[in-house]
């Protein structure tokens, strides 16, 4: 019953078209109008010519449908005006493409029949023309839509004002505007208006339905890729090869790393997610095409970012580069979540894996830099002695370096835990590394101390450098790593150097102040004490003269040394001259032999370790 009713309805529609149409073309147009109102009025159903046994009726209907579509599509293809400037034209053009796609699909099963095959070949030619034109429209919408959303406003308003206040577009290419730092990356850029995105989506549906998905993706990715490249340029990032990076001076490279960090954060947290969102909206319902297009849009800029990081990773392992390499490592680490989320589809798998590989390579670079620091300590020559036994430059360099490095202790812990080393029971791999560097430094200083001919001065040298090491360890993250036990042991070492210094330089003087009670008679004792006092005066002068040019950089340690010497020397000297003054007739003339009073000795001791100008530097 329903089928009979539909046949009657179709028959009425055919009769109206035949009655109102003054010729075949007009009747065909009327049938076309009917087909737009109700899906039951398709061109094939409304065709008066029913397929005959040889299929000639169906071919005639197909040809008439193609003739009608050809006239419509040709009119749009030949138009000099943008089709999407008029909503009615764009809707009609899309309807024509829809109908052409429908016809092609409905008749494709009979493509082996020569007449129908010829019609389908003609339909393909028409589709090619329609696709070429709609591709132009797609490109125009992309380009003009983006123009209404200027790039500069996405980064910093002050930059936009600086760049555009004069209203001129004659920019100096050498002066690339650099985006100001962003503190909030939680935003998305809508690069195109919603209306433009809807238009693009409608075009996308037709191009994919017609089998032109790759062309659509190519046009889309080309346009958006240009936007990204311009954005990266505005962020101050240059297009540099790995060789270019390796040839840069370090100061220049440091500045480039700072720009790279800003660009990487903006790209991964703002630009790429915005492109992902735009892609998903334009290619809504076509996830594979959306993923492919997104990959093509972002691949170039992503590779640019990754290549720079890779150049840093495989570059020089010079110790002074550690801190900037750590900056790049931390940036890559912090952006791994964004790499995983933004590049989550199958087409971006390679980019995702490459990011992880380069991040790990940066960790290897950090470990390599510490190995180079070890080599630097080993190779530091023990030739010229530091004047006055003062602080050696290698000690100052290494300790300040390690203190600065330990400000990134958590990052360094992560870097060394990812190596193949095995931590000890009570120590992390970073602790093991730092302990080893300290051991190398101490061994190096021991060798350097042998350069001094005076053993006492070598102990002053070890005392100075040992004290400096302990101070730098105690007051920072380095102390947390090495622990209190390490600090106690090295404080004890410094005290041992102190004791060794006193023994090597002052014990002989103290020996002169000892009186041998077995000396024969008063005269024999007096003669012996006179000789000892004379020898003491001479040696004391020599020691004070030499030691006053030596340097003890730490004020507290300098006072401790002086106090210790005074406690050692003054009682012994006071007892000696007191006894000498009580030796009868000899004692009456004691002032002739006593060059220094106890206060004089104390004053001379307090002049020790001030150092010369050269030694104090």
Residue identified by tokens 């380095």 is 478
Query: What are the extents of the domains in the chain?
Result: 194-373, 395-503, 506-607
Look at residue 199 and tell me whether its pLDDT is greater than 90.
yes
* pTM across the whole model: 0.77
Instruction: Give the residue, 411 or 105, on which the prediction is more confident.
Output: 411
Could you say which DSSP state residue 386 is in? P
The predicted pLDDT at position 494 comes to 96
Look at residue 165 and tell me whether its pLDDT is greater than 60.
no
The predicted pLDDT at position 320 comes to 94
State the pLDDT confidence band at 43, using cuts at 50, 70 and 90: low
Phi, psi of 116 (to 5 degrees): -70, -40
| Other residues' Cβ atoms within 10 Å of the Cβ of residue 95 | 14
Q: What percent of the chain has pLDDT over 90?
A: 58
Question: Read out DSSP for 434-486?
Answer: HHHHHHHHHHHHHHHHTT-SSHHHHHHHHHHHHHHHHHHHHTSHHHHHHHHHH
SS3 letters for 310-365? Answer: HHHHCCCCCHHHHHHHHHHHHHHHHCHHHHHHHCCCHHHHHHHHHHHHHHHHHHHH
Which two structure tokens, joined as six digits, stand for 551? 């340097």
How many Cα atoms are found within 13 Å in the side-chain-facing hemisphere of 418? 19
Alpha-carbon distance of 615 to 617, in angstroms, equals: 6
Look at residue 409 and tell me whether its pLDDT is greater than 90.
yes
Q: Are 609 and 548 in contact (CB under 8 A)?
A: yes
Cα separation values, 476 from 469, 482, 483, 555, Å: 12, 10, 11, 21
How many Cα atoms are found within 13 Å in the side-chain-facing hemisphere of 55? 12
435-471 b/e with 16+ CB inside 10 Å = b? bebbebbbebbeebbeebeeebbbbbbbbbbbbbbbe
The predicted pLDDT at position 48 comes to 44
Single out the residue of 421, 469, 422, 479 nearest to residue 446, CA to CA. Answer: 469
The predicted pLDDT at position 581 comes to 80
Handedness of CA 271, 276, 281, 283 (dihedral sign): positive
State the pLDDT confidence band at 44, using cuts at 50, 70 and 90: low
Look at residue 76 and tell me whether its pLDDT is greater than 60.
yes
User: If 0-12 CB within 10 Å is exposed, 13-18 middle and 19+ buried, where does residue 247 land?
Assistant: exposed
| Other residues' Cβ atoms within 10 Å of the Cβ of residue 296 | 18
Q: What is the dihedral of CA 118, 124, 125, 129, to 10 degrees?
A: 160
**Span 483-499, average pLDDT:** 95
Q: Are 606 and 545 in contact (CB under 8 A)?
A: no
**Span 214-222, average pLDDT:** 94
The predicted pLDDT at position 174 comes to 39
The predicted pLDDT at position 197 comes to 94
The predicted pLDDT at position 106 comes to 79
Instruction: Give the residue, 509 or 145, on which the prediction is more confident.
Output: 509
User: If 0-12 CB within 10 Å is exposed, 13-18 middle and 19+ buried, where does residue 314 land?
Assistant: middle
Q: What percent of the chain has pLDDT over 70?
A: 79
The predicted pLDDT at position 152 comes to 37
Which pLDDT tens digit goes with each residue over 540-565? Answer: 999 999 999 999 999 999 999 999 99
Look at residue 169 and tell me whether its pLDDT is greater than 50.
no
Q: What is the dihedral of CA 255, 260, 261, 264, to 10 degrees?
A: 170
**Span 241-257, average pLDDT:** 94
Q: Are 133 and 198 in contact (CB under 8 A)?
A: no
CATH 1.20.1280.170 fits 506-607, yes or no: yes
Residues 6+ apart with CB under 8 A from 164: 152
The predicted pLDDT at position 110 comes to 74
Which two structure tokens, joined as six digits, stand for 278? 């735009």
Could you say which DSSP state residue 200 is in? H
Residue 610: beta bridge partners? 551
Look at residue 26 and tell me whether its pLDDT is greater than 70.
no
Alpha-carbon distance of 296 to 561, in angstroms, equals: 72
Look at residue 53 and tell me whether its pLDDT is greater than 60.
no
| Other residues' Cβ atoms within 10 Å of the Cβ of residue 288 | 14
Which pLDDT tens digit goes with each residue over 351-386? Answer: 999 999 999 999 999 999 999 999 999 999 888 889
Look at residue 249 and tell me whether its pLDDT is greater than 60.
yes
Alpha-carbon distance of 272 to 291, in angstroms, equals: 13
The predicted pLDDT at position 51 comes to 42
Which two structure tokens, joined as six digits, stand for 492? 């004890």
**Span 502-519, average pLDDT:** 82
**Span 114-125, average pLDDT:** 81
Mean pLDDT of the chain: 83
Which pLDDT tens digit goes with each residue over 1-16? Answer: 444 455 555 555 655 6
Which two structure tokens, joined as six digits, stand for 128? 């090619």
Look at residue 52 and tell me whether its pLDDT is greater than 60.
no
Q: Are 189 and 270 in contact (CB under 8 A)?
A: yes
Alpha-carbon distance of 140 to 223, in angstroms, equals: 10
**Span 42-46, average pLDDT:** 55
State the pLDDT confidence band at 144, using cuts at 50, 70 and 90: confident
**Span 113-128, average pLDDT:** 82
The predicted pLDDT at position 561 comes to 93
Look at residue 336 and tell me whether its pLDDT is greater than 50.
yes
How many Cα atoms are found within 13 Å in the side-chain-facing hemisphere of 579? 19
Which pLDDT tens digit goes with each residue over 576-588? Answer: 888 878 776 665 6
Which pLDDT tens digit goes with each residue over 386-404? Answer: 999 999 999 999 999 999 9
Residues 6+ apart with CB under 8 A from 432: 421, 423, 424
Alpha-carbon distance of 466 to 500, in angstroms, equals: 14
**Secondary element (H or E) of residue 285:** none
Single out the residue of 46, 3, 52 nearest to residue 21, CA to CA. Answer: 46
């Amino acid at each position: 019953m329903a089928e009979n009713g539909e046949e009657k309805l179709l028959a009425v529609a055919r009769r109206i078209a035949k009655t109102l149409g003054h010729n075949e073309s007009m009747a065909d147009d009327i049938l076309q109008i009917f087909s737009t109102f109700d899906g039951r009025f398709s061109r094939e159903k409304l065709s008066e010519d029913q397929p005959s046994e040889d299929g000639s009726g169906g071919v005639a209907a197909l040809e008439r449908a193609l003739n009608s579509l050809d006239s419509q599509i040709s009119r749009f293809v030949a138009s000099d005006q943008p089709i999407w400037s008029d909503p009615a034209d764009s809707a009609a053009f899309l309807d024509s493409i829809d109908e052409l796609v429908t016809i092609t699909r409905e008749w494709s099963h009979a493509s082996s029949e020569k007449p129908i095959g010829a019609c389908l070949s003609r339909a393909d030619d028409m589709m090619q023309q329609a696709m070429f034109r709609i591709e132009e429209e797609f490109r125009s919408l992309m380009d003009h839509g983006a123009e209404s959303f200027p790039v500069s406003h996405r980064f910093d308003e002050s930059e936009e004002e600086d760049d555009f206040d004069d209203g001129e577009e004659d920019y100096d290419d050498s002066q690339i505007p650099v985006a100001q730092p962003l503190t909030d990356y939680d935003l998305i850029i809508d690069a195109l208006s919603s209306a433009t995105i809807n238009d693009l989506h409608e075009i996308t549906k037709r191009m994919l339905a017609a089998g032109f998905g790759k062309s659509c993706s190519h046009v889309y990715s080309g346009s958006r890729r240009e936007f990204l490249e311009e954005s990266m340029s505005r962020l101050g990032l240059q297009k540099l090869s790995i060789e270019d990076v390796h040839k840069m001076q370090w100061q220049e490279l440091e500045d480039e790393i700072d720009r790279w960090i800003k660009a990487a954060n903006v790209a991964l947290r703002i630009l790429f997610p915005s492109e992902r969102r735009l892609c998903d909206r334009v290619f809504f319902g076509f996830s594979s095409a959306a993923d492919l297009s997104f990959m093509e849009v972002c691949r170039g800029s992503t590779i640019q970012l990754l290549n720079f990081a890779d150049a840093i990773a495989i570059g020089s392992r010079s110790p002074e580069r550690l801190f900037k390499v750590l900056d790049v490592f931390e940036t890559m680490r912090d952006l791994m979540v964004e790499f995983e989320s933004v590049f989550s589809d199958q087409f971006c798998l390679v980019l995702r894996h490459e990011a992880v590989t380069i991040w790990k390579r940066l960790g290897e670079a950090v470990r390599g830099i510490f190995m180079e620091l070890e080599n630097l300590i080993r190779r530091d020559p023990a030739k010229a002695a530091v004047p006055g036994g003062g602080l050696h430059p290698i000690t100052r360099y290494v300790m300040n370096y390690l203190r600065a490095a330990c400000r990134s202790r958590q990052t360094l812990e992560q870097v060394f835990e990812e190596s193949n080393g095995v931590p000890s029971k009570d120590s992390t791999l970073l602790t093991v590394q730092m302990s080893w560097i300290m051991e190398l430094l101490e061994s190096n200083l021991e060798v350097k101390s042998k350069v001094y001919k005076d053993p006492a001065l070598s102990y002053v040298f070890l005392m100075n450098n040992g004290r400096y090491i302990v101070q730098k360890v105690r007051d920072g993250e380095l102390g947390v790593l090495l622990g209190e036990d390490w600090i106690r042991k090295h404080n004890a070492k410094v005290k041992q150097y102190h004791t060794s210094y006193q023994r090597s330089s002052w014990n002989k003087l103290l020996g002169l102040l000892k009186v041998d009670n077995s000396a024969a008679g008063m005269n024999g004792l007096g003669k012996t004490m006179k000789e000892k006092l004379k020898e003491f005066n001479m040696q004391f002068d020599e020691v004070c003269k030499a030691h006053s040019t030596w340097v003890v950089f730490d004020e507290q340690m300098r006072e401790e040394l002086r106090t210790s010497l005074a406690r050692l020397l003054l009682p012994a000297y006071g007892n000696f001259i007191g006894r000498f003054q009580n030796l009868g007739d000899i004692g009456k003339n004691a002032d002739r032999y006593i060059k220094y009073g106890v206060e004089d000795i104390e004053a001379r001791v307090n002049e020790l370790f001030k150092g010369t100008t050269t030694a104090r530097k």
